[in-house]
Amino acid sequence: MADTYWLLSVPDHADAGLREVLRGIPASLRLVFSLVWQAGPGQTVCVFVLESLSAILAACGLLSVTAVLTALLATGPDADRLTRALPAIVLMVTLLAARQLAVFGAARAQASLRPTVKKVAEARLYEVSVHTDLAAFDDPGFHDAMARARDRGILYVGMATDRLIELVGSALMLLGAAGAASTLHPALLPLLLLSALPSAWTTLRAARIMHDSVQRFSTVHRRMWSLARLLADRQSAPEIRAHTAQETLLGERQRLADLVCQEDIRVGRAEGRGRLVGQAVSGTAVGMTYLVLCWMLRSGVMPLAVTGSAVIAIRSAQSALGRLAVALSKLLEQGLYVQDYSDFLREARSRQRPVHPQKVADDFDRISLDSVTFTYPGKEHPAVADVSMTIIAGQVIALVGENGSGKSTLAKVIAGLYLADRGSVCWGDTNLAQAEESSIYQRLAFIMQAPTQWPFSAGVNITIGRPEKEDPDGVALHSAALRSTADEVVARLGNGYETLLSKEFHNGADLSGGEWQRFSVARGFYRDARVLICDEPSSAMDAKAEKRVFDTIRDLSQGRTTVLITHRLSGVRRTDRIFFMHEGRIVERGTHAELMRAQGRYFELYSLQANAFAS
Ligand SMILES: Nc1ncnc2c1ncn2[C@@H]1O[C@H](COP(=O)(O)OP(=O)(O)OP(=O)(O)O)[C@@H](O)[C@H]1O
């Protein structure tokens, strides 16, 4: 396999430097905070109040140590010193106990916040995705962005929540310790910084190394995940075996795993070297700090009790700064994925259609297309070019033509799923480009060429398009099943309409291609909409089922507009009008008799099929 052909899809931020990522951190923090707030305003306030309280109590605890030491180090008999120190000891213990309670409370609130944040982030992602314009789903860049946001972004949003709380908690602790230290003696503040900064620098340097590695390897990781998905996926399992593709896939995954492993070793070693240097510098700085403290003690600048408290304050500040640096470094790494998530939300929202107030009327009398052209994103040639046509309500029209001639695309344009780049599609007087989206889809039933196999029960597979429909005795459900011949499939299922149609779950049933198609047709019939589009509804069906479906389409045509796409030309003979497509254009139109008389492309294709049967 070629080494780098897939590296063409390096994510945008792969070229971003550390500074740019640092600049993006406030945006990530804002996003995480907004998710945290949405997940639970009460819990968020609780966490931050308790974290602040814990920092204040810790600072007070540090200051109370001086009082204890002063009493203990005073002159006089031991028993007297102990008695005098007792109130300060009680105060110190009370403060420490109260702090532990605050820490416990904050941890409890945080524990329930994190899963809720993940839930909210997931809901936001899927809400935005399902309302994105369909055309976005034809753009590989959009898929890439969605995969990054879904597979890693959500996970890291959850983790970044913890980091955000840690960051705030350790910053407050640091402030508290620094405040306590400077209250003890103003000279302690620079000493504290001197002793703590080297370890903070070491941690940030390690984060930078890790961040660079994550950036450079993000495409390799995505490639590995996509291969891992293929290796474990039910859909690809038969083909992997039948085409003996195991070695190719395993080999490619292994090659990437080796690259990742080598990189991880390199990063680990670089971090180790950095840590060694940092600890050496840090140790020297701490030594110098204690030397300065000794000098201050000896020269009488600082009493012994204050020096003791200062040592504890410096230790606390060091540990808070260390945790702050770790939280920040993790945020650097996790922020990258949070940005992926946030970028995707922004992009998906920008690809949603604008909201229009005008609704499609229920009683429109025709669908008219005027010079409609549609080109898929990234494609040079239009899939539908300069198409004009009118479909009168109550008619059944057929779109026919060779593979790739643009039938399915035109059907989706007629349905308003794709908006025309040029020209207009009107249902009655309403131009779909200016219509409220849901008012279009409420009046549409679309039997897809490759229908979705919903992992629900057989009944839900039929009613999913109109769950709100009142059908207490199941009359509509049974009628749709009967007309599509799905009833024959249901009769063979163990639990009838209650049978789960998914082999990936316990007690689930799997269906053949033709059986799935019967459910898809039943779904379209059950939806009972003003516009019915059937895109090759019977391509996998046996002849008997196909005949029943075509008859039903004809029977149901009263009061609705029906578009039928099929390669079985015997099924289009009885339609009201046939449109023959070639390279995105309508090149012939008329009734079956008219087109046969014209002896054009339709005649040629029809005769080919008819002769094949005759012979
Ligand atoms: N999602 C897509 N993104 C990019 N190009 C597409 C997409 N779907 C279809 N095309 C291209 O648009 C053209 C028309 O495809 P369309 O599916 O509309 O043809 P069709 O007439 O329905 O074909 P068939 O009879 O095989 O179903 C083809 O060249 C196809 O490759």
> 326-343: per-residue pLDDT in tens?
787 777 777 777 888 888
Mutation to probe ligand 1, out of 143, 408, 539, 586 (largest number of atoms < 8 A from CB): 408
Work out the percent of the chain whose per-residue pLDDT is above 70: 94
Q: At what angle do helices 78-130 and 18-39 cross, to 10 degrees?
A: 90
Does 407 sit in the ligand 1 pocket, CB within 6 Å?
A: yes
Residue nearest atom 4 in ligand 1 by C-alpha distance? 376
pLDDT at 390 over 90: yes
Q: Poorest-confidence range of 36-45, 108-117, 294-303?
A: 294-303
Question: What's residue 494's pLDDT?
Answer: 87
Q: How far apart are CA 307 and CA 293, in angstroms?
A: 7
User: Ligand 1: does its nearest atom lie under 6 Å from the Cβ of 537?
Assistant: no
Q: Which of 407, 449, 535 to mutate to test the pocket of ligand 1 (most atoms within 8 A of CB)?
A: 407
Amino acid at 7: L
CA distance to 563, 573, 590, per residue, from 593 (Å): 19, 8, 8
Most confident of 6-20, 23-37, 121-135: 121-135
137 lines ligand 1 (CB under 6 A): no
583 CA from centroid of ligand 1 (Å): 10
Ligand 1, atom 12, lies closest to the CA of 383
Q: Contact 361/240 with Cβ under 8 angstroms?
A: no
How far is ligand 1, taken at its centre, from the CA of residue 191, in Å? 71
Q: Does ligand 1 have an atom closer than 6 angstroms to the CB of 566?
A: no
Mean pLDDT of 115-126: 91
What dihedral angle (degrees, nearest 10) is formed by the CA atoms of 374, 379, 380, 384? Answer: -20
Ligand 1, atom 31: nearest CA belongs to which residue? 404
- The pLDDT, as a whole number, for residue 16 is 46
Give the residue among 216, 563, 263, 601 at the shortest CA–CA distance from 407: 563
Would you call 500 helix, strand, or coil by DSSP? strand
Which tokens sit at 356? Answer: 């229009």
Instruction: Report strand pairing: 366-374 vs 422-427.
Output: antiparallel
If one counts every other C-beta atom within 10 angstroms of the C-beta of residue 428, the result is 15
Kindly give the interhelix angle for 18-39 and 188-232, rounded to the nearest 10 degrees: 80
Give the span between the Cα atoms of 71 and 163, in whole angstroms: 40
Q: State if residue 382 touches ligand 1 by the CB under 6 angstroms criterion.
A: no
Question: Is 314 exposed, middle or buried, given 0-12, 13-18 or 19+ CB atoms closer than 10 A?
Answer: buried
* β-bridge mates for residue 431, sequence order: 426
Question: Which atom of ligand 1 is the closest one to the Cα of 410?
Answer: 18
Question: What's the whole-number mean pLDDT along residues 595-605?
Answer: 94
Q: Let me know: does 374 contact 418? Beta carbons within 8 Å.
A: yes
**């300060």: which residue's tokens?**
88
pLDDT of residue 220: 81
Q: Is 377 in the pocket of ligand 1 (CB under 6 A)?
A: no
Residue type, 30: R
The DSSP-derived string for 503-566 is TTSTT-----HHHHHHHHHHHHHHH--SEEEEESTTTTS-HHHHHHHHHHHHHTTTTSEEEEE-
Supply 590's token pair.
């008329």
Q: How far is the CA of 53 from the centre of ligand 1 (A)?
A: 63
More confident site: 414 or 160? 414
Average pLDDT over residues 211-235: 78
Domains and CATH numbers, the chain: 18-350 (1.20.1560.10), 356-443+531-615 (3.40.50.300), 452-528 (3.40.50.300)
Q: What local confidence, expressed as pLDDT, does residue 19 receive?
A: 63
Neighbour-count burial of 567, counting CB atoms closer than 10 A to its CB (0-12 exposed, 13-18 middle, 19+ buried): middle
Give me the mean pLDDT over the 137-164 stretch. 83
For residue 573, pLDDT beyond 60: yes
Lowest mean pLDDT among 357-371, 395-409, 495-509: 495-509
Confidence band for 18, pLDDT divided at 50, 70 and 90: low
Q: What is the pLDDT of residue 215?
A: 66
Ligand 1 pocket check for 378: Cβ under 6 Å: no
Ligand 1 atom with least separation from CA of 137: 1
Lowest mean pLDDT among 137-146, 462-471, 516-525: 137-146
Query: Residue 243 corresponds to which tokens in the numbers above?
Result: 């085409």
